[in-house]
Structures are given as structure tokens and as C-alpha cells.
Amino acid sequence: MNIEGEQKEKLKQLFPEVFNEEKIDFDKLKLSLGEDIDVGRERYSINWPGKAQAVKVAQLPSLATLKPDEKASVDFDKTKNLFIEGDNLEVLKLLQKSYFGKIKMIYIDPPYNTGKEFIYPDKYEEGLQTYLQYTGQIDAEGKKFSTNVETDGRFHSKWMNMMWPRLFLARNLLTEDGVIFISIDDHEIDNLKKICNEVFGEENFIASFIWHKKTQPSFLSKEVANVTEYILAYKKSSEILQLKGGMTDPDKMVELLNIGNPITNRILPKENVIFVNEDWCGNLKKGIYGNEALQVELKNDLLITKGHSDIDIELKGRIKWTQDTINQSLNEGSVIYIKSIKSLRPTLKRIGNESNVKPPISLLSKYVNNIPTNTDASNEIKKMFNGIAIMDYPKPSGLIKYLIETISYGDPSAIILDFFAGSATTAHATMQSNIEDGGNRKFIIVQLPEKTPEDSEAYKAGYKDITEIGQERIRRAGKKIVEESKDKEGFNAEEFDKGFKVFKLDKSNFSVWDGAGDGDMQKKLELHVDNTDPKSKEEDILYEILIKAGFELSENIEKIKVGGKNVYSILEGQLLICLDKQIDKDFVRSLTKQKPKQFICLNSSFKEDADLTNTAKILENNQIEFRTI
């Protein structure tokens, strides 16, 4: 008999409020018994063991990088979608510069902390080291990821320590009108809401959606047959537009042209189009207008009088929305503006009002708003993988697609992020949303390469970790969507983005300077003459430079020849990067003829300091910003 345990259990029956993760708060016990205690300066706050360290971890810079894996990718050179394999804490840190304030929506389905499936680093300050050991990229005595179990005295604290820095970093990535949706169940909803109130602000709480996850309760149910889960929704700021049904903000403009879309014809009814310069009157001849990247062809001659055309306008170009979507929006009161008669770029201002813009209700149910259940999700993924139960408890793509539509309606180029991606349902839902409204949304998927159990159906089918399942699901979902949409008006299978670039978290391609401690300082200096890892591929170094410079990982990159050397051209030549080991005067002269705005190369490309100084001077004289790494 555990006498101490029995005594505690008796006390718990009388005073449950004095227990915190199985520990007795004796000050609370004294207060419960009516005794006065000096509690110091009281204020409302949330605290738990390890919180201070979790806050500190969020602020530590990452020493990692993301290395491209073209073999695992689909349409690597064309796609704007990303699949990142790695610990999401490190990945979120690496995305801070490139995607700060650019993500319109985040959906995550984090571990529910049920005591059996939550893996986390033992030491948060060793995030990259832990990850490299876990994935077998460096030697270790054993993997340093472990399962959080209810018998642990700090069961809830460890989960909160894991979530806090990730949510803090995620908030930075949201646009000012962005929203995060978080799936959760009863185990941690109270703690999650407290964390979110602190990170996002209690005033930015939107709703706690209730998802009707199953139509039949489990026969194993004991006290209550639970058939629901929750989805917490928080906005970044007060800039958010009304969810679902479009935009109530009359100043929100939507560009209808996008370089990634197929060339199609669209009819713009004359009564819905306004030429902004109403003082201009005259004839517009049919022909090509605008720059090369976003040209439009006017198919008919127009007479413009006081800002209006005499006939409907027929345009041919890279228009985001289908004709049906444009017509629906115009029928709801929206207006198309054309600001310039030189470019003829149409911009839609979506007009919302109380009669046609209705917010979503807080109940997400098959019977109320046709939201799929987890049974539907299991059947969906089984069908995609030829009847194999490839993943336990996946979310249905229809659920996430519904959430995507509540926030990105009217913004069909939104970036959607999921950093607890699982089987990549969010990627599937994003592609499906694009098909339905002609949008061009992009997804960023982040997933730890968590090993599949050897007795699982996934392992037997050849999938050794969850990232392999997620990547294969996107491949199959893309093919399925293309096949089902081949007869859809305006659909072009070659232009539809069903691909994804794969990146893998790894240690930096550049050695980190360590001037502290003992050791031969001369040797340390010699190692940093060329500070790049000799095992790194040129593409690895290139993408690390782009991340550090703040460019998106989906940026178009062209490989060109300048002065006989390979040079990477970004933003149509505005940025040039050369990773050659030797740069001379002839190359620099050839480079100036390209007239880039910025040039980046390796510091080790110059044999002498004088060569570096001369290059810097020449580029400065040609108004070219110069940086070395």
C-alpha cells in the first residue's frame, strides 16, 4: 500500500484546486483553509514550469538550413508549393525572414497530448542537434525524442513548453488579416486557449468551432460518448475581414491577373467595369497591352466615355478566376476597376453587405454545413492508397477546405501553412480549393519525419516515415484532381500547380565561428578562410543564401552564364549569385554589363583581400549592391 499516495488521494477529494500536475500547492491549501498568506503582488497571468525557457527558445536563432531534394519533388522548377521535412520549431525560425507577414492562413493539428503519441526534444535548447540525432544524420547514443506520458509529473507543462514557441513564431508569419486554426480535443483545450490568449491576444480570439467528428460514438465509451473536437480560431490583428462569404472591407482589392495562371478568355460586363480615369474618353483598339509577364489581349475595339465602355470587354490573359467565379462576384455587387489604359490590368473590388455576407456558424457538422467526419477522412485516404489504412486519425480534406474558404475567399493567391502536416491533408485541400474557384493558393507543409511503427500498414506498404506518406498523398491527390477536372472550363492541366518543392532540415552549409574556449586560434582562423562545408552541393549553398537574404523558397531561379561562369539569376536578373571558387576582374566586368541591382558571392572566391576590395569598388561605381558570405 502506498500510504503517501492514499493520503494525497484523500486530500485531492477534499481540495482538488490545490493540486497542480499531481503536486500540492501548499499556499493554495492554506488559502482554502482560510489562512492568510503573503502572496505578493497579485495579477492575472498564466505560468508553468519551463515557460521561461520556452520563451527563450523562441528567440534563439537557428543554426540550421533547408536543403533542396529535387528527386523527391514534383515539378521542382515550376511549382510554388513547399514540403519541408524537419522539426517545425527550427523550420519556423528559418521561415521568419522570407515569410514574415505573408501567410494568410495557418491550420495545424498538433499532438493532443493523450499520453502516447507526443514526441518532443528532451532539451529545447538543442533543437537542431536533437533533430539530427533523431533522423540519424549524426551519431548519438540513442534518439533524444521521447513520448510524453501522463505519469510524468510535468505532463501538461511539457506540452505547453512545446506549443508556446511554435505559436509565437507562427504569429509572426501571419498577414495582418491572417488567421490561425488549431485542432484540439478536451485534453489540452483549456491550456491551448490560455497560451493563444497570451500569444495572439485575448481580443483576437474569433471562435471555438465544434467539429462533429463522428456520427456514431465508440462502443468503448464509458462516462460520455464523445463525438466532437474543437478548432480554435485566432486572428493576427483587428485587420481581419469577415470570415466566410467574402469581403466586407470595400477597400480590399483583388488583382485578377497572376503570372502563374493559364492564358484564358474572360468576358467583363460593361456595367460592372469602371475605368478609373473618368475624364479620359476615346477609342481603345484591340491588341496586346501591359508588360511581358502579365500581358493581356483586348479582343474587341472599345469606346470609353466617362469611365465606361460601350460594349462588354473581352480579355485574354493569365486571369486567376474562372468566368463563373467572376460572374458570381459581380452578381453580388462587386466592381472591376481598370486603372491604366496602357496595361488594362483588371482589379476587382469585392463589395460585401449584411444580406450576402454571412459568417460561418460555430458548429461544423455533416448535418448542418456538410462537413466530413473522421470516418470520411479514413475512407478518403484509404481510397487514395488502394484500400490501405495508411494513417491513423487523418483529418478530412473537406474540413480544411472549408476553413480555407472562410479566410481566403476573395484572396485566391493566399499562402496556407501547416506545420503539423501529418498526411498533408492541408495540401490536398488547398489544391481542391484552387480547382473550385480558379484560385492560385500556395501551400507550405512542414512535417517531422516520424518513423512509422514496424507493425503498421504504412510500414508494410513501404512507407518508413510520415513525410513519405504526405509526399505520396500530394502526388496522388494532384493526379486525381487533374483527371477529374480535365473537362472543366478554362482548366489547363499543364498550368495547374500540383507540384511541390521538397526541402530537408540540416545543419548549415557554413561553419559557425567559435572564438571562445581553448584551442589553436590560428587553426580556427584557417578553417574560416573557406567557411563552406566541402560536402555541400552548390544548390544547398544557393538556397541557404536565399533564406538568409529573405527570398521565398519558391522564387524562380534561372541559371545563366556570365564571363564563362555559372550564375544564378533571381527576380529576372535583379539579383545575381555566383558560387564559383575563383572570381577575377574579367568576370566582374562581364557582371556589370548584366546591370543587376545586387550581387552575392562567397568570401572565399577571392584569393587576396585586394581582389575583394577592387571588386567592391567596381560594383559600387556601377550602383550594384555587393555582399559576400
Question: Average pLDDT for consecutive 10-residue bins of the chain (629 residues)?
Answer: 74 80 82 75 78 85 93 95 94 94 95 70 56 64 54 75 93 93 94 94 92 83 85 85 50 72 89 77 88 85 88 91 85 84 83 58 88 93 92 92 82 89 96 87 94 92 94 96 84 89 94 62 60 88 93 93 94 93 92 94 89 94 93
CA–centroid distance for 235 within its chain: 15
Same-domain check for residues 240 and 287: no
Residue range(s) defining the domain that contains residue 22: 1-38
What residues contact residue 35 under an 8 Å CB cut-off, 6+ apart? none
| 223 shares its domain with 268 | no
The pLDDT score that the predictor gives to residue 569 is: 95
Which residues, 6+ apart, have CB-to-CB distance to 610 below 8 Å? none
> Is 474 in contact with 488 (CB distance < 8 Å)?
no
Whether 516 is in a domain gets the answer no
Let me know whether 161 and 290 are in one domain.
no
Looking at the fold, whether 291 and 395 belong to one and the same domain comes out as no
Residue 529, domain member (yes or no): no
Residue 559 included in any domain: yes
Q: Does residue 363 form part of some domain?
A: yes
Taking the C-alpha atoms of residue 360 and residue 441, their distance in angstroms, rounded to an integer, is: 21
161 and 29 within one domain: no
Look at residues 329, 347, 365 and tell me which one is the last residue of a structural domain: 347
Q: Are residues 26 and 64 in the same domain?
A: no
Whose CA is closest to 290, among 348, 346, 342?
Answer: 342
DSSP code at position 362: S
In this structure, the answer to whether residues 194 and 82 fall within a common structural domain is yes
- Indicate whether 184 belongs to any domain: yes
Q: Are 343 and 302 in contact (CB under 8 A)?
A: no
The residues facing 562 across adjacent strands are: 565
Instruction: Determine, yes or no, domain membership for 13.
Output: yes
Cβ 599 vs Cβ 625: under 8 Å: yes
d(CA 374, CA 109): 13
d(CA 402, CA 270): 33
CA separation for the pair 320, 397 (Å, rounded): 23
CATH of the domain at 428: 3.40.50.150
Compute how many other C-beta atoms are within 10 angstroms of the C-beta atom of residue 299: 14
Q: What are phi and psi of 3, to 5 degrees?
A: -65, -45
User: What's the confidence (pLDDT) of residue 193?
Assistant: 96
Question: What cell does 385 get?
Answer: 492508397
Q: By three-state DSSP, how is residue 439 classified?
A: coil
DSSP 319: B
Of 532, 487, 559, 489, nearest in space to 628 by CA: 532
Residues 182 and 226 in one domain: yes
In the block, residue with C-alpha cell 519533388 = 73
Edge-to-edge strands, sheet with 565-570: 557-562, 565-570, 575-578, 598-601, 625-628
Let me know if residue 225 belongs to a domain.
Answer: yes
Q: Which residue has the cell 587553426?
A: 523
Q: What is the pTM (predicted TM-score) of this model?
A: 0.77
Is residue 337 located within the same domain as residue 363? no
Apex CA 93: angle with CA 90 and CA 96, to 5°? 155
pLDDT at residue number 74: 96
Residue finishing a domain among 299, 319, 347: 347
pLDDT at 464: 93
User: What local confidence, expressed as pLDDT, does residue 1 receive?
Assistant: 58
The per-residue pLDDT for 245 is 45
Whether residues 153 and 289 share a domain: the answer is: no
Nearest partner of 553 among 541, 545, 543, 540, judged by Cα: 543
Distance CA(405)–CA(469), nearest Å, equals: 25
Domain shared by 17 and 73, yes or no? no
Q: How far apart are CA 321 and CA 318, in angstroms?
A: 9
Number of domains the chain is built from = 4
Assess whether 95 and 238 both reside in one domain: yes
Q: At which of 292, 327, 347 does a domain end? A: 347
- Cell of residue 561, nine digits: 552564364
- Identify whether the C-beta of residue 503 lies closer than 8 Å to the C-beta of residue 82: yes
Residue 215 lies in a domain: yes
